[in-house]
Amino acid sequence: MKTYQTMSKDELTSLKTDLEAKYKEFQGMGLKLDMSRGKPSAKQLDISMGMMDVLNSEVSLQCEEGIDCRNYGILDGIKEARELLGAISEVPADNIIIYGNSSLNIMYDTISRSMTHGVMGSTPWCKLDTIKFLCPVPGYDRHFAITEHFGIEMINVPMTNEGPDMDMVEQLVSSDDTIKGIWCVPKYSNPQGITYSEETVKRFARLKPAAKDFRIYWDNAYSVHHLYEDQQDFCLEILEECEKAGNPDIVYKFTSTSKISFPGSGVAAIATSKNNLADIRKQLTLQTIGHDKVNQLRHVRFFKDLDGIHEHMKKHADIMRPKFEAVIDILEKELSGLGIASWIKPRGGYFISFESMDGCAKDIVSKAKEAGVVMTGAGATYPYGKDPKNSNIRIAPSFPTLDELKQAAELFALCVKLVSVEKLLE
């Protein structure tokens, strides 16, 4: 097979005519598909419906400690929920505070508090001229949106297949005290599905930040979200590593059951050192008398323990795996060997990260949209929506049905070919 780069102008021109005809056919099909966000499909939501039955007017709503979950109280969350979320996060229940329905909300809140009140007694960030965050790229658009919202300057750090470029992280963090944080999705990262290596986690734990209020924002959104039972990624537990390295307060670890039970109606938590938890509670006690304990109870009674979570996640994987494999198969069949694209086959998480030829991503996404398939906006995986190479596209295979997804992936591959040919003919 010839790569597009080695084709003559005439060959490319005739290829373009063929591809345009195929594209017209797709346009005539009236597709209306959404591959833009990492939402579970309705079938995935159905597997958690038993949660609706575990609580009813007949059952006791007392938690294990004998407190009535229908009433106010328990700022940190009920013990059994802290144990369950602790098990998911691989930390002791005493290192956890349960919040409401969204981990993103906790991340926003954590940054907001640092802006207005500082971190463990340090100067509030709003009183400083410049605040910076490191952003491993490609990364999660909503992380970048939070830091942008607060006027925090974002610095791109390239991802490697072991996690962020740690030479760069160490150098920047140790030399610049305006750098106050780094966004990390350490397991099955969004969008690349990369899991940080043991060495990367250890280097994070050993960081020597110039700013004493520097924190690692460790977003453990996909900790139990494997696609394959026999090929699971493993990520070293960071809280323990930080403690061993004499850096116990350097990390905030976030988690939620959004993509375990119901996104938007799950349970979210922060895990961190006792010192950080005490700092957080000072604000939390003013913000709320307590989060939704009925939902915490519902989750614990449905899942019971970590084994229950793993059994449940296998059901998600059974639905997700064929979708990921269908997309990867189509990409391989249609695009491999052409010299115009590369992608990562993940073992978990919610996304496939795709790299087009430089300068093509925006056009590919808009061509797909014109034929009825909505993808995540090109550039979204970079701070300020600016992908310097205009090449990364995040594919989210979870929401459409398998048949729809196959059509969408065929169209996507066609758009990649067409835009690449157009680029080479420029």
User: Which chain residues interact with ligand PLP by CB under 6 A?
Assistant: 38, 102-104, 140, 185, 190, 219, 221, 256, 258, 263, 268
Strand pairing of 179-184 and 215-219?
parallel
**Which residue, 104 or 341, has its beta carbon nearer to ligand PLP?**
104
Task: Give min distance, CB of 350 to ligand PLP, in A.
Answer: 6
Tell the smallest beta-carbon distance from residue 91 to ligand PLP (Å): 17
Nearer to ligand PLP, 371 or 378 (CB): 378
- Give the Cα separation of 44 and 314 in Å (integer): 11
Check if the beta carbon of residue 108 is closer than 8 Å to that of residue 116. Answer: no
Closer Cβ to ligand PLP, 192 or 276, answer by number:
192
Q: How far are the Cα atoms of 162, 204, 292 from residue 236, in angstroms, in the given order?
A: 12, 11, 31
Q: Which is nearer to ligand PLP, 114 or 258 (CB)?
A: 258
Nearest approach, Cβ of residue 140 and ligand PLP (Å):
4
CB of residue 147 to ligand PLP, shortest distance in Å: 14
DSSP for 22-90, please give it: HHHHHHHTT--EEESS-PPPHHHHHTTTTHHHH--TTS--B-TTS-BTTSS--TT--HHHHHHHHHHHT
**Integer CA distances (angstroms), 164 to 108, 111, 142, 161, 181, in order:** 22, 21, 18, 8, 14
Q: Please choose, from the candidates 288, 408, 394, the residue with its C-alpha nearest in 3D space to the C-alpha of residue 37.
A: 394
Residue placing its CB nearer to ligand PLP in the complex, 101 or 420: 101
Nearest approach, Cβ of residue 27 and ligand PLP (Å): 30
- Cβ-based nearer residue to ligand PLP, 339 or 385: 385
The least distance separating ligand PLP from the CB of residue 88, rounded to whole angstroms, comes to 12
CB of 108 or CB of 412, closer to ligand PLP: 108
d(CA 212, CA 173): 11
Supply the minimum distance, in Å, between the C-beta of residue 305 and ligand PLP. 21
How near is the Cβ of 36 to ligand PLP at its closest, in Å? 11
330 vs 379 by CB, closer to ligand PLP:
379
Distance between CA atoms of 77 and 294, rounded to whole angstroms? 10
CB of 390 to ligand PLP, least distance (A): 22
Count other C-beta atoms under 10 Å from residue 394's C-beta: 27
Rounded-to-integer distance, Cα 335 and Cα 339, Å: 8
Query: Within 10 Å of residue 41's Cβ, how many Cβ atoms?
Result: 19
- The Cα–Cα gap between 166 and 162 comes to 9
Closer CB to ligand PLP, 125 or 144, in the complex? 144
Three-class SS of residue 193? Answer: coil
Element housing 215 (H / E): strand 215-219
Q: Would you say 263 or 346 has its CB closer to ligand PLP?
A: 263
CA 103 to CA 253: how far, in whole Å? 10
Residue 169 C-beta: closest distance to ligand PLP, Å = 18
The C-alpha angle 34, 395, 340, rounded to 5 degrees, equals: 125
Structure tokens at 240: 């323990």
Place of tokens 């780094």: 182
